[in-house]
Chain A
């Protein structure tokens, strides 16, 4: 079984400031790692994922996340946020040994960007 902990339920930040959304996981097996974003009253969209290889992964809109195996973390960062980044962000893991993409999610972090 695995679990995901997102340490902050809300992160307020000013526009153009840097931000880090924290994610830690625990698992008895190897996992794949994902970050999803959800805008109000909408479904989730994949932001980025770590499957293997380089531990630093990037999205097309400036977010990046680094897989740290020793700390079992997958924190999400952006050097300069925009108002449009206001959304809820979910960290998720899937079991590498499973035949399914059944995701275990954290409780989410609401990123609130103000002018």
Chain B
């Protein structure tokens, strides 16, 4: 089945550590996105990418980094510079264009301990 796979589903991190969240899609979509969800805050855009080896900052990119070495993969690294990393992280993909549907993964819940 086509879809977006995020792993792991739950992740615990100690303060000061970097951690990488995985996102893989087999929908042959060019565009991929990372959103952060906090209770009562909706979703906020972290980074997005339209093609391999190219990506742009979203509204809350500070403390995060991404790479896009393959069309299918768009991993997100939460660095130690992110002051409040505990959140639910959602990866999405779409074909190119603002009138297209974004397909979401099941999310990764990151908790800093």
Decide: A108 and B45 in contact? CB cutoff 8 A: no
Chain B residues contacting A103 (CB-CB under 8 Å) are 43, 45, 102
Q: How far is the CA of A46 from the CA of B103 in the complex (A)?
A: 8
| Binary contact track B83-110/A, C-beta < 8 Å → 1, others 0 | 0000000101010111111101111010
Nearest CB of A to B90, in Å: 6
User: 8 Å CB contacts to A: which residues of B21-57?
Assistant: 31, 33, 35, 40-45, 48, 50
- What 1/0 mask marks residues of chain A from 1 to 35 whose CB sits below 8 Å from any chain B CB? 00010000100000000000000000000001010
Contact B40 A99 (CB under 8 A): no
Supposing A100-B48, A100-B50, A102-B48 touch, asked if A94 and B99 sit within 8 A by C-beta, the answer is yes
Closest chain B residue to A103, Cβ basis: B102
| A61 contacts chain B at the CB level, 8 A cutoff | no
Q: Please count how many residues in chain A sit with their CB below 8 Å of the partner chain's CB atoms.
A: 29
* Cβ of A95 under 8 Å from chain B: yes
CB pair B42–A107 under 8 Å, yes or no, is yes
Binding site for B on A (CB under 8 A): 4, 9, 32, 34, 36, 41-46, 49, 51, 90, 94-108
Check if B40 sits within 8 Å of A90, measured CB to CB: no
B23 CB to closest chain A CB (Å) equals: 11
Q: Which residue of A lies closest to B9 (CB)?
A: A41
Do residues A101 and B102 form an inter-chain contact, with CB atoms below 8 A? yes
Evaluate whether A107 and B99 lie within 8 angstroms (CB atoms) in the complex, with A43-B104, A100-B31 already known. no
B8 within 8 Å of A (CB atoms): no
Q: How far is the CA of A99 from the CA of B106 in the complex (A)?
A: 25
